[in-house]
Chains A and B, each alone.
Chain A
Amino acid sequence: MPAVSKGDGMRGLAVFISDIRNCKSKEAEIKRINKELANIRSKFKGDKALDGYSKKKYVCKLLFIFLLGHDIDFGHMEAVNLLSSNKYTEKQIGYLFISVLVNSNSDLIRLINNAIKNDLASRNPTFMNLALHCIANVGSREMAEAFAADVPRILVAGDTMDSVKQSAALCLLRLNRTSPDLVPMGEWTARVVHLLNDQHLGVVTAATSLITTLAQKNPDDFKTSVSLAVARLSRIVTSASTDLQDYTYYFVAAPWLSVKLLRLLQCYPPPEDAAIRGRLTECLETILNKAQEPPKSKKVQHSNAKNAVLFEAISLIIHHDSEPTLLVRACNQLGQFLQHRETNLRYLALESMCTLASSEFSHEAVKTHIETVINALKTERDVSVRQRAVDLLYAMCDRSNAKQIVAEMLSYLETADYSIREEIVLKVAILAEKYAVDYTWYVDTILNLIRIAGDYVSEEVWYRVIQIVINRDDVQGYAAKTVFEALQAPACHENLVKVGGYILGEFGNLIAGDPRSSPLVQFNLLHSKFHLCSVPTRALLLSAYIKFINLFPEVKGTIQEVLRSDSQLRNADVELQQRAVEYLRLSCVASTDILATVLEEMPPFPERESSILAKLKRKKGPGTVPDIEENRKERNANVNGGPNHTSATSNAKVAAPAAASSTDLLGLGSSTSLNSTPPAAAPPTAASLLVDVFSENSPPVSAPAHIAVPATAAPAADDNFSSITTKSFHVAESILADVQEPTDKFVCKNNGVLYENQLLQIGLKSEYRQNLGRMYVFFGNKTSTQFLNFASNVVCQDTLASQLNVHLKPVDPTVDGGAQLQQIINIECVSDFVEAPVLNIQFRYGGTLQNIAVKLPITLNKFFQPTEMMSQDFFQRWKQLSAPQQEVQKIFKAKHSMDTEVTKAKIIGFGVALLDGVDPNPSNFVGAGVIHTKTTQVGCLLRLEPNMQAQMYRLTLRTSRDTVSQRLCDLLSDQF
């Protein structure tokens, strides 16, 4: 670039800026700026034309004023004039002004584009560079539209200067990032790859960035780049440090280019061709060798550049995961870094090792560093490094070292930072479960965990202990004994009381033989903690007491006494009061047989994936840990009864649904049962059933039968558990973003809640008139945090797009916590349709991107206009529509009760007019209506004949179009 000569320095600008800086107050500054603006205005207005220098100076001043935060509403034209100047400095200022100040909808955009076009065609490299920089800096869609074709042409043209090629590559990269759809992939793509062979290293560096981005999108188009990249890399790696002159940075040859090439290679699997592969391996070996050499300089830049290349090479090795020797060497190299005095290096080493640990070739090698890592955990000063150490320990854990690692983590937990405690607790819980050889160790570990960090033990952890203890006969006795001992500590955590209450309630009988833990002692021990606990725990303890009554009839009196006390029977908390009353009655009324049935031991839980693991995944998001987890599982093939699915996938998203269906410990069933039973049916679990049992009217014989039906209701009637678990179930569900089917409930009504999870609630309100409809969608943010980048769009699949016009009004991209956002969707029905459009919602919550897709309940019947008609007319029309394909008939069984009023309401809700006195049989229903679409109108007649005895319906539909008949029939028949 031409140097700015002294004469070009703008004195006026310098004076102005120093004036502004010297201003004592804001007012003084504003005065000075007003004065300057007036001066510039009079200059621009002046009759005589300004020379380039003063124009440049004034535009510069305007730019400065704008950057101070004042509005500028003139001077754009002068800036555009500067673009056509032949002087570099003037052109540069013009471009600067435009890239900062001109917004895309300005009328000047055509002039600007024209000036840019001229410069691009000018063959003057500095001007071309300026123009390319401007395109990249603005980077708007309009720019992309105007120049998406030109930039690639310049990039691959044979006669373009190197510096221009460099800019063109980076400019194209930017356009590709902002508006990928506008940058056409054409014949230039093949030629871009050959830029990797360019003489000029700057061009290669820029091109590598471009190719990496492009290759991530269409890997197939750029396959050829692999061999070129390897060749280039090997030339760089083997070159003497002085060969590359400008591109040698502190004795390291072209570090940036090397890093970029290594990144590019990470887009592809290891090369097939043995020769290339050999060459690449050689390169990587050389890089590893170089790391061993003594540093050529003591400067930090030297080691930084060297290590950057090294770490990128290690990532590539890990990515390929195919060369055992390289993996082991990389691991050893990282092992050296573990004790480096540079904190960043230690951090990076731990992080890379984490990924190395998941490779089968290097897993053993990683394990050799266990002592160092444990040491790092203890002595490291930086919390983030300690966190990485924990991650690495977790990743390198297997059956051989589980006990050691768990013990170390437990001991670290006592001094760990509060921010990472919960995560460590989860990790310990998982490792303990996964690698437990004997379950006594597992029980000990978890109890220890609760003792050390009870506050951080989430519900999933203690649910899981109970799941495992209940499912394993061999540990039940041990667990009861250990819990009993642990409870004897004067102060124990509430979570321990929960576990204790549950386990003793179930298996207290196993240790009752010992006089030191006789039933009464057990009960007294539990009851001594009762008053220190919160309500849910107390509720659980009450359940444990009633179980005691079943297990040990000898303490019945004592327990009844406790239940009868005022603090229980008249407890302010309704839940506790109800339990106390019901349990007391149950123990008085029911016979031992009934008691034994009702209070039977908990049935084993279905084997599922560990709920804790699901929680850890949720916590981390689809990050590294789940990946490792999945990979490891493949090899370790399910050590214990934990995770069920062995599907070979390292994709956390695919794994998520499995996690979703299995997070609850005491869940009333699988997720399907929760979904299919309507909400009204779920609650009558324990509480209301028990009420039934005790009501005088119900025959005592039938009571056990009642209770036996929902198997889970029997054990201890922990209905509050069910509420907890449904909650956790919802939490887990949020991870997956599959398309929800539109619920049938919207067929006959227009308003309601469409979708709900723990973050978001979507409500609907819609109105239809003829072939037009308007839908108000309400997005309710249920959290207290803002949703960012909120966006929604509606997708009409294939044929639907031509049948239905759906238009969304744009909405605000942020939704405040607790706030509701309304979006209007305008719908126009062009012709009849079957599918429903899908509403895609995307937003950022916390750090993670959430995707939700819901089918909008827009069905054909929404466009009905009811038509009233007389009996005569009806039959006349009925006859007119007698062609066989116009009639659709369906006979089906009633799903709901056959109430006349309800049926009427449904038919009216469906959209047709209900015609009285048309059908000779008064119990039949007859309706008529017209469906309005943009193209046609479809008349529709329907007849519904209920058969009370058989609980069946016969639905007959006649419309003027066969497709409509079929669709309406399907829609309506699902409603009864």
Chain B
Amino acid sequence: MIGGLFIYNHKGEVLISRVYRDDIGRNAVDAFRVNVIHARQQVRSPVTNIARTSFFHVKRANIWLAAVTKQNVNAAMVFEFLYKMCDVMTAYFGKISEENIKNNFVLIYELLDEILDFGYPQNSETGALKTFITQQGIKGQHQTKEEQSQITSQVTGQIGWRREGIKYRRNELFLDVLESVNLLMSPQGQVLSAHVSGRVVMKSYLSGMPECKFGMNDKIVIDKQGKGGTTDEAGKSELGGSSGKQSIAIDDCTFHQCVRLSKFDSERSISFIPPDGEYELMRYRTTKDIILPFRVIPLVREVGRTKLEVKVVIKSNFKPSLLAQKIEVRIPTPLNTSGVQVICMKGKAKYKASENAIVWKIKRMAGMKESQISAEIELLPTNDKKKWARPPISMNFEVPFAPSGLKVRYLKVFESKLNYSDHDVIKWVRYIGRSGIYETRC
């Protein structure tokens, strides 16, 4: 289990240090600083083992979060916890920065006491935490006995993530499907590896204790229904828009703790009592039949020892009615570049010396279009015999559809005790596809 948790600033100074177990000594703080933060060679592995002690770290901006243990723990669990911890901190005081951490120093220790007990992760649901850990100081005077006991029963009860008696005038929910598409492509246009990792994020403002049911075009469910013949027409028409590809194969997925896993295992249906406010309902990954929104065609020609000609064409590959946004193509330049001339048809392109790359930015681009950039790179002859390694061209963008092909079929809300039905709930669905590591070799 986790023996301790440290937070460092970019200089390696300790901002927060919380030790949960005796086997972690004070020197562990320094060991991580010396061997990871100040290491001569940049440490790329998120797990470092120093003197039989394991350090798991994540970095947020300039802040290092490190969990330390001497035991053989489940590394995935530790990272999950660290990410959760980041979420909690963001929910409490916004961006994780040195300034914010220093200002919320007491709060962080309070949180750490709550979400980690003797190294075992506890309830880290922001909504639940916010009911009893607040930034307004001691709340005891304002809270009635009843409220306090209610918190206790909620936190210790079966549904720890939602309290009773929530009431909204307008029952509303927002559903966001956020995907990031990752790609590595050969210069000839062959896909070397591609996958989509997606998240379904939900924001619910519902009264009472509603029971929800979520449906999507999961291949297993669709196939089963096709056989059984009991298609849920109502749900389909409700959230609608399901056209084109029929179903997708999900490689793996994880759910928020509110989802009843037993039901998912037996019927493959996702039913749950949602927490109040924003949370991540599920996470998934697909590798088959991915729609690649952009195709990058590079052309690099070396003219003698002192000149390089680069031409890059990008093609958008989705419905012409949709618009991609925030497109950025990053073309690496050799380390001995001494001058660059760029011509592009669309957007703006600039040579950024500090990053050793040409950055080409396009604000908006419709589907089934094509654009091109060409650059002349002048090189300085060096006495170094090393050849330039030609790093891949990378790309960033945002598209208004899910590259995995995932579609929300329905989300039904049942609340038997209160008098509102599924039809009264206002539901919003949005798809956003972003680029993860989207690279083409050149």
Which residues of A approach B to under 8 Å, CB–CB? 24-26, 31-32, 34-35, 37-39, 41-42, 44-45, 69, 73-74, 76, 106-108
Which of these binds chain A: B162-170, B190-198, B265-273, B375-383? B375-383
B 349-372 to A, binary, CB cutoff 8 A, 1 in contact else 0: 000011110000000000000000
- Is there contact, CB below 8 Å, between A38 and B62? no
Q: Which of B295-346 contact A (CB under 8 A)?
A: 335-339
Judge if B10 is at the interface, Cβ distance under 8 Å.
yes
Identify 6 residue pairs between A and B in the complex whose beta-carbon atoms are under 8 Å apart, listed by A's number. Answer: A32-B354, A42-B338, A42-B339, A69-B40, A74-B380, A74-B384
Contact of A41 with B337 at beta-carbon distance under 8 Å, contacts A31-B355, A32-B354 already known: yes
Contacts of B386 in A (CB 8 A): 73
Beyond A31-B355, A41-B338, 18 extra complex contacts between A and B, CB < 8 Å? A31-B354, A32-B354, A34-B353, A34-B354, A34-B356, A35-B353, A38-B338, A38-B356, A41-B337, A42-B338, A45-B339, A45-B378, A45-B380, A73-B336, A73-B382, A74-B384, A76-B383, A107-B383
- Is there contact, CB below 8 Å, between B382 and A74? yes
Contacts of B354 in A (CB 8 A): 31-32, 34-35, 38
Which residues of B approach A to under 8 Å, CB–CB? 10, 40, 42, 62, 335-339, 353-356, 378, 380, 382-384, 386
- Smallest distance from the beta carbon of A197 to chain B beta carbons, Å? 48
For residue A41, which residue of chain B has the nearest CB? B338
For residue A45, which residue of chain B has the nearest CB? B338
Contacts of A76 in B (CB 8 A): 383
Closest 9 A/B residue pairs (Cβ) = A38-B353, A45-B338, A73-B384, A35-B354, A31-B354, A41-B338, A73-B382, A74-B382, A35-B353
Docked complex Cα distance between A37 and B383 (Å): 16
Docked complex Cα distance between A73 and B383 (Å): 6
Docked complex Cα distance between A37 and B354 (Å): 9
**Residue among B336, B356, B380 with the highest chain A CB neighbour number at 10 A:** B380
Contacts of A31 in B (CB 8 A): 354-355
Contacts of B384 in A (CB 8 A): 73-74
Q: Report whether over half of chain A's contact residues are helix, strand or loop; otherwise say mixed.
A: helix
Q: Report whether over half of chain B's contact residues are helix, strand or loop; otherwise say mixed.
A: loop
- Smallest distance from the beta carbon of B391 to chain A beta carbons, Å? 14
Contact of A39 with B353 at beta-carbon distance under 8 Å, contacts A73-B384, A107-B383 already known: yes
Contacts of A44 in B (CB 8 A): 338, 380
Contacts of A69 in B (CB 8 A): 40
- Smallest distance from the beta carbon of A944 to chain B beta carbons, Å? 61
- Smallest distance from the beta carbon of A591 to chain B beta carbons, Å? 64
- Smallest distance from the beta carbon of B396 to chain A beta carbons, Å? 18
Docked complex Cα distance between A107 and B383 (Å): 9
Docked complex Cα distance between A32 and B356 (Å): 11
- Is there contact, CB below 8 Å, between A41 and B383? no
Docked complex Cα distance between A34 and B333 (Å): 12
- Is there contact, CB below 8 Å, between B62 and A24? yes
Docked complex Cα distance between A34 and B354 (Å): 5
- Smallest distance from the beta carbon of A74 to chain B beta carbons, Å? 5
Docked complex Cα distance between A41 and B10 (Å): 31
Contacts of A24 in B (CB 8 A): 10, 62
- Smallest distance from the beta carbon of B203 to chain A beta carbons, Å? 34
- Is there contact, CB below 8 Å, between A106 and B383? yes
Docked complex Cα distance between A107 and B382 (Å): 12
- Is there contact, CB below 8 Å, between A74 and B383? yes
Docked complex Cα distance between A44 and B336 (Å): 11
Contacts of A38 in B (CB 8 A): 337-338, 353-354, 356
Docked complex Cα distance between A107 and B378 (Å): 24
Contact of A25 with B353 at beta-carbon distance under 8 Å, contacts A41-B380, A73-B382, A107-B383 already known: no
Contacts of B337 in A (CB 8 A): 38, 41
For residue B61, which residue of chain A has the nearest CB? A25
**Residue among A24, A34, A38 with the highest chain B CB neighbour number at 10 A:** A38
Contacts of A73 in B (CB 8 A): 335-336, 382-384, 386
- Smallest distance from the beta carbon of B112 to chain A beta carbons, Å? 25
Docked complex Cα distance between A32 and B386 (Å): 23
Contact of A34 with B380 at beta-carbon distance under 8 Å, contacts A42-B339, A45-B338 already known: no
Contacts of A107 in B (CB 8 A): 383
Docked complex Cα distance between A107 and B10 (Å): 42
Contacts of A39 in B (CB 8 A): 353
- Smallest distance from the beta carbon of A49 to chain B beta carbons, Å? 15
Contacts of A41 in B (CB 8 A): 336-338, 380
Docked complex Cα distance between A74 and B379 (Å): 12
For residue A39, which residue of chain B has the nearest CB? B353
Contacts of A26 in B (CB 8 A): 42
Contacts of B353 in A (CB 8 A): 34-35, 37-39
Docked complex Cα distance between A35 and B351 (Å): 11
